[in-house]
Amino acid sequence: MDQDATMDRENGGAATPLHPVESGRDSGHNVVRLSGVTKSFRMGEGQVEVLKGIDLMIAAGEYISIMGPSGSGKSTLFNMIGALDKPTSGRVFIDEVDVAQLDAYELAWLRCRKIGYIFQTFNLIQVMTAIENVTLPMIFAGMSRDEYTDKGMQLLQLVGLGERARHKPSELSGGQQQRVAIARALANDPAIILADEPTGNLDLSTGEEIIDLLKQLSIERGGTVISATHDFKMINVSDRVVWIRDGRIDRIEDREKLNISVGKIS
Ligand SMILES: Nc1ncnc2c1ncn2[C@@H]1O[C@H](COP(=O)(O)OP(=O)(O)OP(=O)(O)O)[C@@H](O)[C@H]1O
Ligand SMILES: [Mg+2]
């Protein structure tokens, strides 16, 4: 958990309200809206432009896959949507709130409560048990010990790991570790689950289990899932697929329009 989240805890975990600074013109509810987002990195003398103007709207409850070749900018885009990094230009709105306008406390609130993050390499804290990893965001959010212990166990049961609560990551398989990471991402009932290559380090069938779990959770909890992936299996459960190429959106397709067999798109 980063420094901002620590500040949130010091803030008593109070539910910091986010004030919309610009109302959307669209009538529907966009949980995420990107407008003209670019991102450049300084490399020695020059600049490398990684995102070259991304416009994207994601409705509440959608399951979106962001696909594209390695190096096309998926993780960079993921970091923009997740308010983990700032665009060079353009704007990112979460629930029609301009992320750039948030102060440190509001940003910490957003990262702690509104978004659940899942990473390719699980990013669990190795010295902590499964239950300790899952409850950490709830502690940061100011929940009482009884509450977070109960909820942590419920979440581990939800991902099928009730029996593994006292295991450390090194005592769990890759798929089990990713389940712990999913339970942790759900800790504060986020509206958005952001997953960067959640099946990238898993074998085919374990990857399928994780994809099914994410889909099931999005249906049951009504959350929005945004996943950067190389995994064509992910397309089967996605409402829309956003294809990124060389820092731009190449095309956005509805799932019904894709003709898919596992591992192959025609
Ligand atoms: N901090 C950084 N500094 C310089 N260049 C960066 C930085 N982060 C990313 N890049 C460059 O941006 C490009 C896109 O990287 P990104 O990680 O977003 O790709 P990706 O689509 O997620 O790829 P992969 O599928 O391999 O994960 C790459 O060429 C990478 O070298
Ligand atoms: Mg990536």
Cβ atoms within 10 A of the Cβ of 220, count?
9
Q: pLDDT tens, 10-50?
A: 443 444 444 443 333 344 589 999 999 999 999 888 999 99
Q: What is the DSSP letter of 26?
A: S
Which mutation among 76, 77, 85, 86 tests ligand 1's pocket best, with the greatest number of atoms within 8 A of CB?
A: 76
In angstroms, rounded to a whole number, what is the distance separating the alpha carbons of residues 260 and 87? 34
Q: Is the pLDDT of residue 93 over 70?
A: yes
User: Which domains does the chain possess?
Assistant: 3-265 (3.40.50.300)
Q: Which residues are in the CB-under-5-Å shell of ion ligand 2?
A: 74-75
The amino acid at residue 152 is G
Residue 28, pLDDT score: 54
Distances (CA, A) of 207 to 138, 230, 237: 27, 12, 13
Q: pLDDT tens, 224-236?
A: 999 998 888 888 8
Given its phi and psi angles, is residue 143 left (phi above 0), alpha (psi -120 to 50 degrees) or beta? beta
Residue 14, pLDDT score: 41
What distance in angstroms lies between residue 76's CA and the mean position of ligand 1's atoms? Answer: 6
User: Helices 130-140 and 145-158, interaxial angle, to 10°?
Assistant: 130
The answer to whether 115 and 190 are in contact (CB under 8 A) is yes
Q: Give the nearest ligand 1 atom to 68 CA.
A: 21
Q: pLDDT tens, 52-68?
A: 999 999 999 999 999 99
Distances (CA, A) of 113 to 63, 68, 89, 110, 204: 19, 29, 26, 5, 31
What distance in angstroms lies between residue 242's CA and the mean position of ligand 2's atoms? Answer: 14
- The pair of structure tokens assigned to 152 is 């942590």
Q: Give the nearest ligand 1 atom to 244 CA.
A: 21
Ligand nearest to the backbone CA of 247: 1
Q: Give the nearest ligand 1 atom to 43 CA.
A: 4
The protein residue whose alpha carbon is closest to atom 7 in ligand 1 is 41
Q: List all residues whose CB is within 6 A of at least one atom of ligand 1.
A: 41, 43, 48, 50, 68, 70-76, 230
What distance in angstroms lies between residue 15's CA and the mean position of ligand 1's atoms? Answer: 34
Cβ atoms within 10 A of the Cβ of 70, count?
7
Place of tokens 């990684």: 50
In angstroms, rounded to a whole number, what is the distance separating the alpha carbons of residues 12 and 29? 30
Q: How confident is the model at residue 173 (pLDDT cuts 50, 70, 90)?
A: very high
In angstroms, rounded to a whole number, what is the distance separating the alpha carbons of residues 108 and 140? 10
Q: How confident is the model at residue 203 (pLDDT cuts 50, 70, 90)?
A: confident
Q: pLDDT tens, 132-162?
A: 999 999 999 999 999 999 999 999 998 999 9
Helix (H) or strand (E) holding 38: strand 30-43
What distance in angstroms lies between residue 122's CA and the mean position of ligand 2's atoms? Answer: 14
The answer to whether 223 and 217 are in contact (CB under 8 A) is yes
